[in-house]
Amino acid sequence: MFGAALPLIMTLDYRCSMKNVKLKSPPQEPKPAKATTRRTGGRTGPRSAYRTAEVEEIFRRFSVQRPEPKGELEHVNPFTLVVAVALSAQATDAGVNKATRQLFAVADTPEKMLALGEERVRDYIKTIGLYRNKAKNVIALSEKLIADFGGEVPRTREELVTLPGVGRKTANVVLSMAFGQPTMAVDTHIFRIANRIRLAPGKTPDEVEAHLLRVIPEHYLFHAHHWLILHGRYVCKARRPECERCVIADLCKSPEKTCDIPAPLVELPPQAISVAARSR
């Protein structure tokens, strides 16, 4: 009796047990993984190592430490800023400031610079590397400003890069510092930091610029350029990062870091923000 009913009982049990089971779909060939696509030009590249909330916290701390960061190149107007930034290629800000203090005292407009002449400009900036070629560019850009822009510094990147000796980085600095536009001028400090801490990895300055513009919160973008430069210049140094002085040591994902404890988050005195500010 039981022997005859056993197959029926097992069948019923099997049917009951299968009520809540989802049948698997037929096996399919795996789809190729999608590459991380940048928003600019459709190129691919490594992602930032940080979540959105972590990037927000990084720049919040920078904003507490340096509420109003300033560039260290001395200038008195947009024209002298263009000249100073153009002269700063392969030179230190301190070295440029030393040369331009006297130069800008006698020539702070394109017209005055042309009147001064290339030879005298050379004499003022001879302590700066590549000073002969830079003097030619200063005169040439002064001529172009007068001829094409009425002696005024243009307010677009496309126009700025037409000036002799002015590239994308210089144009971005001028747009940010002279005209208050949120741009990202990638210098050696920013390029190093973006890759070292894996905030915005990239193989070229243009790649790093595009990546930083993507990941930095919009409300921090205006000062982000100076925060990153100053952090790279005084804390996350090229030869040996001073992690014990870093306010983002706990968030940092650099394989080079030597400390996980962040430095006290306090506002730095003005003299630590801008050497140039003291002399103005």
* 83 and 173 within one domain: yes
Last residue of a domain, one of 177, 201, 232: 177
Q: Could you tell me the pLDDT band of residue 168, with boundaries at 50, 70 and 90?
A: very high
Among 169, 203, 237, 253, the one annotated catalytic = 169
* 27: in domain: no
* 46: in domain: no
* 227 and 199 within one domain: yes
Quote the crossing angle between the two packed helices 188-196 and 205-215, to the nearest 10°.
60
pLDDT digit string, tens, across residues 15-60: 434 344 343 344 444 343 333 333 434 445 689 999 999 999 999 9
Last residue of a domain, one of 149, 177, 205: 177
Q: What is the pLDDT of residue 89?
A: 87
* 142 and 206 within one domain: no
* 269 and 142 within one domain: no
Per-position DSSP letters for 28-91, written without gaps between them:
-PPPPPPP-B-SSTT-B-PPPSS-HHHHHHHHHHHHHH-SS---SS--SSHHHHHHHHHHTTTS
Q: Is the pLDDT of residue 275 over 60?
A: no
CB 144 within 8 A of CB 163: yes
* 34: in domain: no
Last residue of a domain, one of 112, 145, 177: 177
Q: What is the pLDDT of residue 70?
A: 83
* 197 and 137 within one domain: no
- Which range marks the domain in which residue 220 is found? 52-70+183-279
* 22 is a catalytic site residue: no
Q: Is the pLDDT of residue 205 over 70?
A: yes
* 47: in domain: no
d(CA 56, CA 39): 20
pLDDT digit string, tens, across residues 180-202: 998 999 999 999 999 999 999 99
Average pLDDT over residues 156-167: 95
* 168 and 87 within one domain: yes
Q: What is the pLDDT of residue 118?
A: 97
Q: What is the pLDDT of residue 90?
A: 86
Average pLDDT over residues 108-120: 97
d(CA 183, CA 160): 14
* 88 and 143 within one domain: yes
* 187 is a catalytic site residue: yes
* 14: in domain: no
Q: Is the pLDDT of residue 127 over 80?
A: yes
* 206 and 164 within one domain: no
Binding-site positions read 236, 243, 246, 252
Q: How much is the pTM?
A: 0.74
* 187 and 172 within one domain: no
* 193 and 151 within one domain: no
Binding-site positions for [4Fe-4S] cluster read 236, 243, 246, 252
d(CA 157, CA 167): 9
Q: What is the pLDDT of residue 41?
A: 41
Average pLDDT over residues 256-275: 79
Q: How many domains does the chain have?
A: 2
* 245 and 201 within one domain: yes
Give the CATH number for residue 247: 1.10.1670.10
Give the CATH number for residue 136: 1.10.340.30
* 268 and 135 within one domain: no
* 116: in domain: yes
* 125: in domain: yes
pLDDT digit string, tens, across residues 211-252: 999 999 999 999 999 999 999 999 999 999 999 999 999 999
CB 229 within 8 A of CB 187: yes
Among 187, 203, 206, 260, the one annotated catalytic = 187
* 40: in domain: no
pLDDT digit string, tens, across residues 50-105: 999 999 999 999 999 999 988 889 999 999 999 999 999 889 899 999 999 999 99
Cross-strand partners of 37? 44
